[in-house]
Amino acid sequence: MKIVISLFTLVTLQTVSKDAVSKALYQTVNMQPDATASADNPVAVPLTPISQYAVTPAIDLKTYLDSSANVIETKYRVALDRLKQQAVSLKAYAKANNYNADYGFLVDMSIPSGKKRFFIYDLKADTLVSSSLVAHGFGSYKENCNDQLVFSNMPYSFKTSVGRYKIGSSYNGTYGPSYKLYGLDSTNNRAYERAIVLHTDKNIPETETFPRRIFQSAGCPAVTPSFLPVIGNYIKTSKKPMLMWIYS
């Protein structure tokens, strides 16, 4: 009888232990400490759920990846075609409002974060010069949204704001060299109030990670540490203010 009780106790403890470990592991990979203030997050937030680390249900991975890759590659080609149209519109706006009409920055948030979507564009020659990964605000991501983001102009929304931005002066902030941003449209005219800036973050990789998502910011368009100096060279040598257009 004692042997039976001991065996039952051992199995029960193993089951409870396994469940506890599984629960703790799920909480660990699905939570990200956000204990420090940031540009759009002056008040420290406790643990913030982040969906990019969510555990994917068991599926036929090869079929899923092949299907997703084909869909995304098609969307990416469409996005690159659309890029030229956005560039034409940005150039016209720049000319009409006395901004730099030779070069501009275009950010297509319809492209998944694991693919390059920050573009330096030669408006004069109608040519793409360079591109990089860029983060969106963690408030913009929604579960099961097929990488389609939601946007907001509201303070403390932690969401990306779409619209045209005037790039202001540089300064050294929490993340090092950064550029102030001034929203020019009704969809982003509270950017300065929200302390939305163009900055770097060491958590953003240099190479594409799709289908994995990249680090999410508190609302700022954050790029890799090596890419901001490239952007900065255009800003520093420009005789007129430069524009950045975030769209989706």
- Cβ atoms < 10 Å from Cβ of 246: 28
Predicted confidence (pLDDT) at residue 92 exceeds the cutoff of 90: yes
Mean pLDDT, the chain, rounded, equals: 79
pLDDT of residue 182: 99
pLDDT of residue 77: 81
Q: Place 121 in a pLDDT band, splitting at 50, 70 and 90.
A: very high
Mean pLDDT over residues 4-10, rounded? 43
**Domains defined along the chain, listed by start:** 35-247 (2.40.440.10)
pLDDT 10s digits, 129-157: 999 999 999 999 877 666 679 899 999 99
- C-alpha angle with apex 41: 36 to 42, nearest 5 degrees? 75
Q: In terms of Cα–Cα distance, which of 180, 177, 175, 183 is closest to 154?
A: 183
pLDDT 10s digits, 151-176: 999 999 999 999 999 999 999 999 99
Token code pair at residue 54: 């969510």
pLDDT of residue 229: 98
pTM assigned to the model: 0.71
Weakest mean pLDDT among 55-64, 176-185, 209-218: 55-64
Alpha-carbon distance 200 to 170, whole Å?
Answer: 13
**Contact in structure between 216 and 204 (CB atoms under 8 Å):** no
Q: Place 115 in a pLDDT band, splitting at 50, 70 and 90.
A: very high
List, in order, residues 6 or more apart from 159 with CB less than 8 Å away: 137, 139, 140, 149, 150, 151, 152, 219
Predicted confidence (pLDDT) at residue 23 exceeds the cutoff of 70: no
